[in-house]
A and B are shown apart, each in its own frame.
Chain A
Amino acid sequence: MSGRFDAVADTAVRLPDGSTRDGPIVDLRDVELGPSRGALDRVVCAGCPTTSGTLAVHSPPPQSVHRHVSPLTPATTLDRRAALAALAAARGVETPYDDDLRTARRSLRSAAPAAVGVAELRTARRRAAEAGAETERLRERVATIRGRVNALRDADHGTSDDGLAEAEASLSETTRRLSEVATERVAAAQRLELLERNARSARDTRDARLRLEDRAGNLERAVRDARIAAVEDDFRAARRTVSARLSRTRPPDPAVSTGVCDALAVARGAPIRAPVVVAPDLVGALGGPTSTHDVLDAPILIC
Chain B
Amino acid sequence: MTMVVGVKLPTVLRPFAGGVERVEVQPAEDTVGAVFMALEADHPALRRRLTDEQGSLRRHVNVFLVNDNIRDLDGLDTKLSDGDELLILPSVAGG
**A and B part of one assembly:** no
Interface, chain A (partner B; CB < 8 A): none
